[in-house]
Structure 1
Amino acid sequence: MHFDNYGGEAARLAAELANLTGPPAPDDLEPLLAAHGIVRRRLTAAQAEDLWAWSRSLAVCFGRQGLEERCEAVNSLLAEASSAPRISLHDGRPHLHYSAPGSDAAAHIRAVTAAGLAYVVCSAAPERLGRCARATCGLAFVDTSRNGRRTYCSVRCANNDAVARHRARSGRQG
């Protein structure tokens, strides 16, 4: 499934932030933000801390949950990010920006990721905000597969899980 930059890419950034394992240094976040098209990505230590706290809120939006619960979680993020979307023409084409001009970088990232999750829930399917089915993984991901039935964060996790299941069956038979 193809998502636009302001929807799917922002949701993929949300998944990567949700997968952080500890408070990041500002320099550690810069390549991640660049990879997801965030232009203002130089952060202060306080902004990196803010995004660490935000990432914990993002994390609850991924994985198996009912539609009402997921919508409640995303709505909570949208309320917390509370920005006014606006149409921008900075590159010659009209497109939405989810934060006010001049907002701080962390506020912009909060607004973009909340809007990206809302976009996926409303325009694709809420179930596309998944968690890896491999017992030892559990990473958050956005399912961009054609049929929307992805259950692993990566091909590597799917293969490792298949090998583990095969070995478990083989061990029982022999």
Structure 2
Amino acid sequence: MHFNHYGGEAARLAADLANLTESPCPSDLEPLLAAHGIARRALTAGQSNQIWEWSRRLAACFGPQDVDRRCQAVNALLADSSTRPHISLHDGRPHLHYSTPDADAAAHIRAVTAAGLAYVVCFAAADRLGRCARRGCGLAFVDTSRNGRRTYCSVRCANNDAVARHRGRRGGVAPPPTQDA
């Protein structure tokens, strides 16, 4: 499924932030923000802490849950991140920005990620905000597959789980190692 830049990419940023396992320093966040097209990514230590706290709230939006609960979680994020959206012409074409030009970087990231999650819930499907089904993983992801049936965060997790299921059916015996002749 194709998502627009502000919806899909912002939701993928929300998933990556939800997957943080410890409070990052600003220099750790900059490459992640750059990879998701965030222009204002220079953060202070205080803003980095704000993003860490925000990431814990984003995490609650992913995984199996009923649509009412997910909408409540996203609405709470939207309420706490609201800045004034506006139409920008900075690249010659009108497009929507979710925060004002004078918003600090942390406020911008909060607004963009909340709007991205709302976009996915409203224009794709609420259950596209998933958690990896492989035991021990549980990473958040945005399902961009055509049919909306993705259950793993990556091909690697899907393959590892398939191998584990196969070995489990064989009685847990690992295949013998191959010998080079």
Provide TM-score, normalisation by structure 1.
0.98
Write the letter of the residue equivalent to 2:17.
L
Q: 1:170 corresponds to which residue? A: 170
Q: 1:141 corresponds to which residue? A: 141
State how far apart, in whole Å, the 2-side matches of 1:172 and 1:64 are. Answer: 29
Please show how residues 27-46 of structure 1 align to structure 2 within 5 Å: 27-46=27-46
Q: Which runs of 5+ in 1 are unaligned?
A: none
Deviation per residue, 1:81-135 (Å, 9 max, x gap): 0112110000101111001121100000000000000000000000100000001
C-alpha displacement at 1:161, in angstroms?
0.3
State how far apart, in whole Å, the 1-side matches of 2:113 and 2:156 are. Answer: 26
Q: 2:11 corresponds to which residue? A: 11
Deviation per residue, 1:49-103 (Å, 9 max, x gap): 0000000000000000000000000000000001121100001011110011211
Q: 1:48 corresponds to which residue? A: 48
C-alpha displacement at 1:172, in angstroms?
6.6
State how far apart, in whole Å, the 2-side matches of 1:109 and 1:21 are. Answer: 18
Write the letter of the residue equivalent to 1:27.
S
Change (3 A) 1:172 1:50: closer
State how far apart, in whole Å, the 1-side matches of 2:49 and 2:146 are. Answer: 36
State how far apart, in whole Å, the 1-side matches of 2:139 and 2:84 are. Answer: 31
Q: 1:24 corresponds to which residue? A: 24
State how far apart, in whole Å, the 1-side matches of 2:170 and 2:84 are. Answer: 57
Write the letter of the residue equivalent to 2:156.
R
Deviation per residue, 1:33-60 (Å, 9 max, x gap): 0000000101000000000000000000
Q: Which of these two proteins has the greater Rg computed from alpha carbons?
A: 2
Please show how residues 85-164 of structure 1 align to structure 2 within 5 Å: 85-164=85-164
CA RMSD in angstroms, aligned pairs only: 1.0
Q: Which runs of 5+ in 2 are unaligned?
A: 174-181
Instruction: Count residues with an aligned counterpart.
Output: 173
Write the letter of the residue equivalent to 1:50.
Q
Q: 1:69 corresponds to which residue? A: 69
Provide TM-score, normalisation by structure 2.
0.94
State how far apart, in whole Å, the 1-side matches of 2:57 and 2:84 are. Answer: 20
Secondary structure of 2:32's aligned partner: helix
